[in-house]
Amino acid sequence: MERGRRTDRIAGALLLLVSAGYGLEAWRLQADFLADPLGPRAFPLLLAASLAVFSLYLLVRPDPDPAWPPPHVLRGQLGMLASFVVYSYALAPLGFLLATTLEMAWLSRLFGASWRTGLLGGLGLAAALYAIFVFGLGIPLPLGRWWPA
Partner 1 sequence: MKRLWKRGILAAILALFGGAFAFSPGNVECIAPANPGGGWDFTCRTGGKLLYDLGIVPRPVKVTNMPGGGGGVAFAHVVTQRKGDANLLVAASPATTLRLAQGKYGNFTADDVRWLAAIGADFGVIAVRADAPWKTLDDLIADLRKDPTKIAIGGGSAVGGQDHMKVLLLAKAAGIDPGALKYVPFDGGGEALTSMLGGFVQVFPGDASETIGQMQAGKIRILAVLSEKRLGGDFADIPTARELGYDAIWAVWRGFYMPPGVPDDAYAFWVEAMKKLEASPEWAKIRDESGLGPFFKGGADFEAFVKKQVADFKELSRALGLIK
Partner 2 sequence: MDVLAQLAHGFEVALAPLNLFLAFAGAFLGTLIGALPGIGPVNGVAILIPIAYALKLPPESALILLAGVYYGAEYGGRISSILLNVPGDAGAVITTLDGYPMAQKGKAGEALALSALSSFIGGTLAVIGLTLFAPYLAEWAIRFGPAEYFALMVFAFTTLASLAGKNPVKALIASVFGLMLATVGIDPGSGVPRFTFGELKLYDGVDFLVVAIGLFAISEVLTLMEHSFLGTATRVKVETALVSLKTFMGSLWTILRSSLIGFFIGVLPGAGASIASAVAYTTEKRLVDREGSFGSGDPRGVAAPEAANNAASGGAMVPMLTLGVPGSGTTAVLLGALMMFNVTPGPLIFEQRPEIVWGLIASMYIGNVMLLVLNLPLVGWFARILTVPRWFLVPAIAALSFIGVYAVNNSAFDLLFMTGIGVVGYLMRKAGFPLAPVILGLVLGRLMEINLRRALAISGGDYTILYASPLSKALWALAILSLFFPWIAGRLGRRR
Residues that bind partner 1 (CB under 8 A): 32-36, 140, 148-149
Those residues whose C-beta lies under 8 Å from the C-beta of residue 140, and which sit 6 or more positions away, are 133, 134
Residues 7 to 26: which contact partner 2 by CB under 8 A?
7-8, 11, 15, 22, 25-26
| DSSP string over 106-129 | HHHHHTT--HHHHHHHHHHHHHHH
Q: Report the C-alpha gap between 44 and 49 in whole angstroms.
A: 9
Least distance (Å) between residue 58 CB and partner 1: 34
Site string for partner 2, 91-120 (x = CB under 8 A): xx---x---x--xx--xx-xxxx---xx--
Contact assessment for residue 58 and residue 51, using Cβ atoms and an 8 Å cutoff:
no
Q: Is 141 in the site for partner 2 (CB under 8 A)?
A: yes
Q: Is 69 in the site for partner 2 (CB under 8 A)?
A: yes
Q: What is the largest CA-CA distance in the chain?
A: 64
Among 16, 58, 94, 98, indicate the residue that binds partner 2 (CB under 8 A): 58
